[in-house]
Structure 1
Amino acid sequence: MNRSTTSEEATLELDWLESEVDSTTIPQYTSQPQHLLLQERDDGDEHINVNDDSIQQPHLPISLHLQQQRKLATTLYLITTSLLFADQNLLSPNLSTIAAEFNFDEMERDKKLGGDIAIAFFMVGVPASFIVGCLADVMNRRSLLFLWVILIGEGACMATYWVQTYTQLYWCRAMTGMSVGGALPLIYSVLGDYYEPSERGWVSGAVSMGCGIGISIGQGLAGVLGPRYGWRVPFLVVSIPAMICALGVWLLVGEVERGGGEKKSMLTSAKEKDVGRRICDEDERVLEMNTLQAIVQGAPGCIPWGIINTFLNDYLSSDRGMTVEGATLMILVFGLGNFVGVSLGGIGASYLYSIYGPRYPSLLSGGSAIAGCFPMWALLNYDYNNTNDSNSYESDENTNDGDMTTNNSPLFVLGAITFLAGAASGITGPIVKSTLQNVTLPQMRGQAFALLNTFDDFGRGLGPAFVAWMIEQMGGRRKAFNVGVGGWLFCGLFNGMLFFTVESDEEKVRMGVEGLMSNGDGEVVANGSNSLSNENERQSGSTLELAQLN
């Protein structure tokens, strides 16, 4: 016998149904809003159709609003990411010009402009990553936090336009580490709350794509505008739009519910009095991991990127005889290849995850990192001029022995090599970051990506400094660069090892989240928090091994 149900009773019944539906069956975000799906419950003679027009459906406007918000948020965050990485690459095309202005010789050029400034970036970026990452896990107004992080870092970028001494340049570039180091953990934390695990592959790919586009934009702007209008102008062109985008995030993007990518009933929250304790507890668990192993894994993968971002443009123009514009063109081709590689990585990760499970994306990521070494070596050692022994390591690297003005080799060969190097190097990044999102709990993602970004900063900062040291010890750039590119071999091996651990890590995280559901009120009590921390501590090193650079 059918029983009539009031609107209030039906709403309660809907809440009961939502608590019973498994998150893998009906995700929070779907192409068709879940409130439009037919949900029915049979209980003896009782039958309720949730889609009955007489029943109030409060989720309709919320779901549509969230879908619109995440599109806007993703777009603004991607644009800002591109501008941040453009900022980071504004010096490299004009290193020799800047060195001449400050009266540096060639060794001082590589050490001070390539190495010392990168170390300063690292020294500011690492604390920023940890502080902002922790705040991202406990603050509700993350868009305001994002605004302040960008204003500080990009304000320093804009101030670079007025520098007159090397000391002023040094500190302005150091403060830029605040925006790059602090923004990325925050971006990944927010986007992880907007998207489901199966969607995070292409989302992380989009962010990595933004990084690659930013590298190309920065190198391109500096390479084109620098010789014509001075090396300072590009800093204005990049910093002002970045601050406008951050302001747009604060004004236009609402705050997403923490853990929104997971099932709503699995979300956890802490009381205000527990916030400080929770940060300390989770940081303690992170610091108990094998930090030395993580640094060994992360640092080698960053060294080749230090070569590409800091030295490659100037190397092609100053050491190999190309014009600044020609070298910049090769960097743009590399960026185009990186764009394609990141796209393949994001799409490939989502496809492999959906069809074969979480283990196989790690094989794609590790294999591509190793494969990227070979076209990169070819780019560094390509015989630009077949009429002389330009590949001989005994030749003087400062005599432009491979003058491109006399190059009889087809230009498309050099372009093809550069494109392949960019494509192979771009696949790993989105896979690493999407996997890291999947093996961390919602309330720990900011701290997890702060740890990951620390290893990124380690490579971006100490990587170029290490390369500058190798240049001095080996007597030239080319030898040092060839050794540095080998870092991708280790990066690929460690990423491939995730094949054996990532599936169990994801399962342990899922079980830990489900364990919280037994609390009933969804609140993290002391025992619950410790239980989740122990689950992450028992993971077999996946989070650490994920700290590889793209």
Structure 2
Amino acid sequence: MRELQGRDPAEVRTVFLMLFMFVFLNADVMLMVPSFRAIRDEFGKNEAAIGLVASLFVFSGAGIALVSGYLADRYPRKLLVFFTILLGEIPCLLTGYVRSFEELFLIRALTGLGIGGLMPLIYSMIGDLVTDKERATASSWIGLAEGVGLALGMAVAGNLVERTDVAFLGASGWRLPFVLAALPNFILAPLFLLLAKEPPRGGGERSIQKELAQGLEYKRRIKLRDYLTIFRNRTNLYFILQAVPGTIGWGVLPNWVVAYYQEKNVSAALATNLNLLIGLGMILGGFFGGILGDRLHRRNKKYSPILCGITTLLGLAFFLAMLHWPLPDHPAVADMAGPLAIGIVGGFLITVTSSNIRAIVLNVNPPENRGAMMSIFTLSDSIGKGLGPVLGGVLIVAVGYIWTMDLATLAWIPCALVFLFLLAPQYPKDAAHLDQLMAERAKEMEQSL
């Protein structure tokens, strides 16, 4: 992010500490995926029950996000980030010591609170640290941290789930990864509290840079009636419209693709590594997609949603090809080369959207509403992701794996249509309206002298 060059070192530390904490908090998200069958067998449950645990994890985070977003727009965010990290990591650590399925059910719901609560806080701060010229790039760095965390969690869990001979702090097998994922943030969170800097509200708005440099403060804070303003913004509404069906794919595919290939007699380790490499494609797609999105955005704002629509359609086509790639009865490593190559490309394409849609949301909402809108973003995102695991489990029992995976992939089609035919013409208008609004706010700040 070029805009951070020459900035206050404390602001740079703030960004990088947030990114590292986000890595380890997100490592927890995918820890259950390679362990579904082990957890199922230990507690005597079926896929639908395990999917329900994964869904509750997401839904609990969605609920707390609404509270977190409101608080982010009213109060200093540094302390909120610190407590939110601990809110997620303490139950993550305790997951390694659950004694029953009921305890697992409860503790995973508590872990979801931390992950869901952090997202609005991070994006609220990022919106005040960088301008609209680099918000997609900034989002791509957050997405990179998220992707690295997801892959790290998947890798650790996939390689330790069957290793009951490896133990640490009294945890082994599928339990050990939860302990390992939680520990780093017990160090990073206090460091963040000591070393991070609260960015000035509105610091990313070019219209009020002169006023902020004069020592004036952007004093507007969210009010409950502002939620009506948020929902009157068509870009916000179109975003929500595409989020729910699209995230069904994100809920089902990452959670069940390992089990899908295991049903095809692919080993747990090989299926997990396949998912990891597809995840690598997703990480790269989200990262470079944000950089490309910023470049297109600087030329014409409508190019950002057009980019999202085209890459979504291409990405789902590659995923369908991956899922239907013919395999022998007992696939070896070489047999998986085709699905792997296609899946990596599909993963790259499908995640180009992730960085750009977050930047679009930041670019049409004023500073005092961004935490709230990102909490709605998290909520709508979580509805699909939360339904995904339990819906996947129920559908797998009802119609089998292949139909379930196909339906989840096709759920991305409505997203692409919204990007191409609704967001592309509307987003530039709403971004221009925000620029005009912030210019008026700059005059109000000058009059307060």
TM-score (norm 2): 0.90
Compared with structure 1, are the counterparts of its residues 357 and 282 closer, same or farther at alpha carbon in structure 2 (3 Å cutoff)?
same
Corresponding residue for residue 168 of structure 2: none
Cα deviation, 1:486-508, whole Å, max 9, x if unaligned, reads 11111111122311011111110
Is the 1:266–1:516 Cα contact (8 Å) retained in structure 2? no
Report the residue type matching 1:164 in the other structure. Answer: R
Is the 1:266–1:522 Cα contact (8 Å) retained in structure 2? no
Report the residue type matching 1:199 in the other structure. Answer: E
Q: In structure 2, what is the Cα distance between the partners aligned to 1:234 and 1:29?
A: 37
- Which residue of 126, 145, 167 corresponds with 2:62? 126
Corresponding residue for residue 253 of structure 1: 196
Corresponding residue for residue 544 of structure 1: none
2:134 partner SS = helix
Report the residue type matching 2:442 in the other structure. Answer: M
- Which residue of 103, 110, 132 corresponds with 2:44? 103
Shift of 1:29: 5.0
1:220 partner SS = helix
Is the 2:323–2:339 Cα contact (8 Å) retained in structure 1? no
- Which residue of 135, 154, 167 corresponds with 1:219? 154
Corresponding residue for residue 169 of structure 2: none
Whether 1:510 aligns to 2:435 is: yes
Report the residue type matching 2:106 in the other structure. Answer: W
Corresponding residue for residue 453 of structure 1: 378
- Which residue of 245, 260, 263 corresponds with 1:315? 260
- Which residue of 239, 259, 278 corresponds with 2:182? 239
**Higher Rg:** 1
Q: In structure 2, what is the Cα distance between the partners aligned to 1:333 and 1:304?
A: 18
Shift of 1:467: 2.2
How does 1:369-388 map onto structure 2 within 5 Å?
369-385=312-328
Report the residue type matching 2:49 in the other structure. Answer: K
Shift of 1:92: 0.8
Compared with structure 1, are the counterparts of its residues 362 and 287 closer, same or farther at alpha carbon in structure 2 (3 Å cutoff)?
closer
Shift of 1:265: 4.6
Cα deviation, 1:102-158, whole Å, max 9, x if unaligned, reads 112xxx2x21111x1133224321221111111111112x11111111101111110
1:169 partner SS = helix
1:347 partner SS = helix
Report the residue type matching 2:152 in the other structure. Answer: I
Compared with structure 1, are the counterparts of its residues 454 and 30 closer, same or farther at alpha carbon in structure 2 (3 Å cutoff)?
closer
Cα deviation, 1:360-414, whole Å, max 9, x if unaligned, reads 01111111111111221122222111xxxxxxxxxxxxxxxx4214x8x654323
Q: In structure 1, what is the Cα distance between the partners aligned to 2:390 and 2:34?
A: 17
Corresponding residue for residue 352 of structure 1: 296
1:228 partner SS = coil
Is the 2:31–2:157 Cα contact (8 Å) retained in structure 1? yes
Q: In structure 2, what is the Cα distance between the partners aligned to 1:211 and 1:419?
A: 17
1:495 partner SS = helix
How does 1:26-45 map onto structure 2 within 5 Å?
29=3, 31=5
Q: In structure 1, what is the Cα distance between the partners aligned to 2:355 and 2:70?
A: 22
- Name which structure has the greater RCO, CA cutoff 8 Å, separation 6+: 2
Corresponding residue for residue 277 of structure 2: 333
Whether 1:85 aligns to 2:26 is: yes
- Which residue of 411, 416, 425 corresponds with 1:487? 411
Unaligned runs of 5+ in 2: 165-172
Whether 1:204 aligns to 2:139 is: yes
Whether 1:431 aligns to 2:356 is: yes
Corresponding residue for residue 108 of structure 2: 173
Q: In structure 1, what is the Cα distance between the partners aligned to 2:162 and 2:65?
A: 34
Whether 1:185 aligns to 2:129 is: no
Q: In structure 1, what is the Cα distance between the partners aligned to 2:437 and 2:127?
A: 18
- Which residue of 111, 132, 136 corresponds with 2:72? 136
Q: In structure 2, what is the Cα distance between the partners aligned to 1:296 and 1:369?
A: 15
Is the 1:269–1:522 Cα contact (8 Å) retained in structure 2? no
Report the residue type matching 1:111 in the other structure. Answer: A
Is the 2:31–2:177 Cα contact (8 Å) retained in structure 1? yes
Q: In structure 2, what is the Cα distance between the partners aligned to 1:379 and 1:92?
A: 19
Corresponding residue for residue 300 of structure 1: 245
Cα deviation, 1:152-199, whole Å, max 9, x if unaligned, reads 111111000110100100111111111111101100110111111101
Aligned CA RMSD, in angstroms, stands at 2.2
Corresponding residue for residue 73 of structure 1: 14
2:223 partner SS = helix
How does 1:274-289 map onto structure 2 within 5 Å?
278-286=222-230
Q: In structure 2, what is the Cα distance between the partners aligned to 1:180 and 1:339?
A: 19
Report the residue type matching 2:196 in the other structure. Answer: V
1:130 partner SS = helix
Corresponding residue for residue 331 of structure 2: 404
Compared with structure 1, are the counterparts of its residues 504 and 201 closer, same or farther at alpha carbon in structure 2 (3 Å cutoff)?
same
Cα deviation, 1:420-473, whole Å, max 9, x if unaligned, reads 121112211001011111111111111110110111111121122222232233
Whether 1:324 aligns to 2:268 is: yes
Q: In structure 2, what is the Cα distance between the partners aligned to 1:111 and 1:502?
A: 39
1:88 partner SS = coil
Q: In structure 1, what is the Cα distance between the partners aligned to 2:18 and 2:137?
A: 15
Cα deviation, 1:70-113, whole Å, max 9, x if unaligned, reads 32222122222222222010011011111110112xxx2x2111
Q: In structure 1, what is the Cα distance between the partners aligned to 2:398 and 2:265?
A: 23
Compared with structure 1, are the counterparts of its residues 73 and 357 closer, same or farther at alpha carbon in structure 2 (3 Å cutoff)?
same
Q: How many residues align?
A: 431
Cα deviation, 1:223-274, whole Å, max 9, x if unaligned, reads 0011113000000111111332222221111111111112335666448xxx
Is the 2:238–2:418 Cα contact (8 Å) retained in structure 1? no
1:258 partner SS = coil
Is the 1:200–1:350 Cα contact (8 Å) retained in structure 2? yes
Compared with structure 1, are the counterparts of its residues 288 and 323 closer, same or farther at alpha carbon in structure 2 (3 Å cutoff)?
same
Is the 1:193–1:256 Cα contact (8 Å) retained in structure 2? yes
